[in-house]
Chains A and B, each alone.
Chain A
Amino acid sequence: MVDLIGLAMPFAYLGLLVGSLATFSSLYRKRKTARSASLEPWFDPHVQRNIYLSLLHLEPQPDQDKATPVPDSILKAALLQRAAEDIRRILAIRGAKQPLSQLLQRGSVGDDLWQRFLRAEKEMEAEVKDVVEEANALATNWGQTVFQSANEMVNNATIRERVGELQAKGRADREWWDKERESISSKFMQELDEEVPAGGSKPASTKAGNSDEEAVLVEAGGPAAGGSTAGSKGGTVKKRKGKK
């Protein structure tokens, strides 16, 4: 009897110790996952993925009692869009990983940001696997090429955007050039006009009114002129004023 009670004591102690440690660890883990789940996601909601999955669960329209099944071709298109968005996200993750880990080492960014990043990376891996499975379900062996196609789609979209930008810049340049040419030719005409009174022998008193008018014209043309021509124009205006 005495022995049993003596033995029970250390066992009770051990049980208490293990029990309290287990409670602490499970509580700690639960809190940690809850905290990482409550962290803001790295990316915005994945619209293309939501569209694809919404199409799989399409609701019947109000006037029908059964939903028309979505044809496979639409699902394929939606999956392709989803894969293209995945490619964009994978590229974003790849680009961010190196600098972010350096910043983390230096202590410039908090651990929260790194946790968010790791979670996004893990999610993307699952997402890619999911897309490949869906693609294989829609057409045999499509999973092998779906991301190749999606990658080209992303590249082509970038190219088109860039070409569009540069061509738009060209159109803006055309407008600028039309104005510039006008101001150059009007400046040229004015210089021709100016040379006539300067060539004549001192018509100062008789042509005073006339030269006044010209000075006003020159000043009005000033602000419209391009940067390169403004300097010389300012010079002519000053000269005129000095003469008067």
Chain B
Amino acid sequence: MDETFTLLPIQMDPASKSLSSPTRTLDPDLTALNALHRAILALPNQIPPPPTNVNPKRSAQVQKMRDQGNASLRTGKSSPPSAAQAQEAIKLYTYGIEMATGRPGWEPSALVKEEAGVLFANRAQAYMAARMWPEGAADAETSVELKRAGNGKAWWRRGRCLCEMGRWEEAGRWVRGGLEVEGNEQDLSGLAKEIAGHLDKSGI
């Protein structure tokens, strides 16, 4: 492999500078390459900056979507948010998630995890307000996957959603896993007790 390589049949369109190949096997690689090329053209030096320098614009936009979503969920009294409010919040959080995960590949992945982790947890809450349990459960799980520690709310939300769908045993396993990570978080251990109580009742 040192000094040799396989010459691949690649063609470049002289006008659009996009690459193509007559053999189908190369298509996925060349499509990815063309997309990366377009992203690189937009950069000042045409080389990706080191991951330590991040353009703050995108973070600001993500933050804005999150704040707007939170504001939409907030209600004056302690009454739960209405369905329309929840739908609006879901829309805003979804925009935020698209922005956070659509970050160019060379920007720090830790930042993506952080931002998307919070947004998924918030969207899970909005889904729960709209009584859309499967979506809420999936979003909470995604949030935990991105941000494992210090994310007790997301652990609790998936547990709650599973209970609402009647999957008590699965919820029990999930919450136990959460307690291992989070220590004895208050809401989480409360939910664990509730699940244990329900399983006892249905067991008898």
Contacts and interface: CB of A to CB of B under 8 A. Distances in A.
Interface of A: 41, 45-51, 53-55, 57-58, 61, 68, 70-74, 76-78, 80-81, 123, 126-127, 138-139, 142, 144-145, 148-153, 155-160, 162-163, 166-167, 169-171, 173-174, 176-177, 180, 228
A54 B5 contact: yes
Interface stretch (B59-67, B76-84, B137-145, B185-193): B137-145
Contacts of B109: 152, 155-156, 158-159
Interface string B42-64: 00011111110000000000000
A83 to B, nearest CB: 10
A152 B51 contact: yes
Contacts of A138: 47
Contacts, number: 143
B29 A152 contact: no
A116 to B, nearest CB: 12
Nearest to B139: A170
Contact of B138 (A73, A123, A144, A167): A167
A180 B8 contact: no
Contacts of B166: 180, 228
Contacts of B26: 47, 51
Given A74-B12, A166-B138, 5 more contacts: A49-B5, A71-B17, A76-B40, A126-B2, A169-B138
B33 A174 contact: no
- Binding site of A, secondary structure by majority: helix, strand, loop or mixed? helix
Contacts of A73: 37, 40-41, 46
A174 B36 contact: no
B132 to A, nearest CB: 8
Contacts of A174: 132, 134-135
Contacts of A155: 109
B8 A152 contact: no
Interface in B129-181: 132-135, 137-139, 141-142, 145-146, 165-166
B74 interface: no
B33 A123 contact: no
B103 interface: yes
B36 A45 contact: no
A152 B19 contact: no
A204 B120 CA distance: 57
Contact of A47 (B7, B29, B106, B133): B29
Contact of B105 (A144, A153, A176): A153
B1 to A, nearest CB: 5
B6 A45 contact: yes
